[in-house]
Amino acid sequence: MHLPSVLTSQEYNKVWADAVRLYGGTLPTTADASKYAYGAVTRTDWIDEIFRTGSLEHYALSLSGGSDNLKALASFNLDKDQGVLLNTFARKFGGKVNLDFKVNKYISFSEQVTYTFSNGQGNINKGHEGVLANAIFLPTFCHYFRLY
């Protein structure tokens, strides 16, 4: 998996110092190691904390058969998707049944029934931009504690 890399605390502080030197302003206390030594130590790589190796499982089954006058097809599928971003997933289930009945060479009936169910969380196109931006820009000197 190709993930973006984030700055270490020292690199982050250097970028701040360079920006202040070039463009003026005041260096934040958290970016000044002489005033806040705690801010110069990298403790958390936020990218590693929010990403994981994703997986996709796909299962499908189809049955078909019949005679000259009656033909049937049934198919089922199941998808389980674990996204690469923590707390993202998708579950999809689908089924389909087709029946074809031929009364004579001029008259025939067909029936098709389809069912789809999906459940998931974390469509990346609907708002995880904030999570990703925070993981890239949150200072790496912050601690992360798992509560489980």
pLDDT digits (tens, 9 = 90+) for 36-63: 888 888 888 888 888 888 899 999 999 9
Q: How confident is the model at residue 147 (pLDDT cuts 50, 70, 90)?
A: low
> How high is the pLDDT of residue 38?
80
Average pLDDT over residues 17-25: 92
Percent of the chain with pLDDT over 70: 83
Residue 58 phi, psi (nearest 5): -130, 125
> How high is the pLDDT of residue 70?
94
> How high is the pLDDT of residue 39?
81
> How high is the pLDDT of residue 146?
63
143 or 89, higher pLDDT: 89
> How high is the pLDDT of residue 136?
67
Token pair in block for residue 21: 């030197």
Query: Residue 77: which H helix or E strand, with range?
Result: strand 70-82
Average pLDDT over residues 105-120: 94
Identify the DSSP state of 85. B
> How high is the pLDDT of residue 50?
83
27 or 143, higher pLDDT: 27
CB of 101 within 8 A of CB of 108? Answer: yes
Query: Residue 4: which H helix or E strand, with range?
Result: none
CA-closest candidate to residue 136, choices 47, 11, 70, 61: 47
CB of 119 within 8 A of CB of 94? Answer: no
> How high is the pLDDT of residue 106?
93
The pTM (predicted TM-score) of the whole model is: 0.62
